[in-house]
Homo-oligomer: A and B are copies of this chain.
Amino acid sequence: MLKTPKGYKFTALEGGFKYSGRDDLALILSDVPAVAAAVFTKNKFQAAPVTVGKEILAESHLVRGAMINAGLANACTGAEGIEDCKESLILAAKYLSISERDLLPASTGVIGPRFNMDRWREVAPKFKKALTENDPVKAAKAIMTTDKFPKLAWGEIECNGQSVRMLGMCKGAGMISPDMATMLGFVTCDAEVDPIWWQDALRRCINKSFNCITVDGDTSTNDTVMAFANGASGVKADDDATKKSLEDLLLDICQQLSYMIVQDAEGGTKVMHIKVTGAASDKDAELMIRAVGNSPLVKTALFGEDPNWGRIVAAAGRSGADFDPEKLTLSFGKIVVFENGKPVEGDMDALLEPLMRKQDVEVNITLGDGEGSSLLQASDLTREYININADYRS
Q: Which A residues lie at the B interface, using CB under 8 A?
A: 42-46, 75-78, 80-81, 110-112, 175, 177-179, 181, 216-221, 294-297, 300-301, 303-304, 306, 308-311, 313-318, 321, 323, 325, 338, 340-343, 349, 381-383, 385-387, 389-393
Known: A325-B44, A383-B387. A218 touches B315 (CB 8 A): yes
**A76, B313: Cβ atoms under 8 Å?**
yes
- Chain B residues positioned under 8 Å from A393 (CB to CB): 304, 306, 308, 349
Would B221 and A314 count as touching, CB distance under 8 A?
Answer: yes
Complex contacts, A390 vs chain B, CB 8 Å:
300-301, 303-304, 306, 382
Given the complex, which residues of B lie within 8 Å of A221, measured CB to CB? 314, 317
- Report the Cα distance A385→B316, complex, angstroms: 21
Pairs A–B under 8 Å by Cβ, sample size 21: A43-B314, A44-B321, A44-B323, A78-B341, A80-B342, A177-B314, A178-B313, A179-B310, A216-B297, A217-B296, A218-B295, A218-B297, A218-B311, A296-B296, A296-B381, A300-B389, A300-B390, A301-B392, A306-B392, A308-B392, A308-B393
B178 touches A220 (CB 8 A): no
Task: Count the copies.
Answer: 2
For the complex, give the distance between the alpha carbons of A321 and B77 in Å.
21
Q: Nearest 3 A-B pairs (CB), nearest first?
A: A178-B314, A111-B310, A304-B390
For residue A78, which residues in chain B have a CB less than 8 angstroms away from its CB? 340-342
Nearest B residue to A296 via CB reads B216
Q: Which of B42, B76, B343 contacts A310 (CB 8 A)?
A: B76
Residue of B nearest to A298 (CB): B218
Report chain B residues within 8 Å CB of A385: 296, 300, 386
* Closest chain B residue to A182, Cβ basis: B314
Residues from chain B with Cβ under 8 Å of A216 in the complex: 295-297
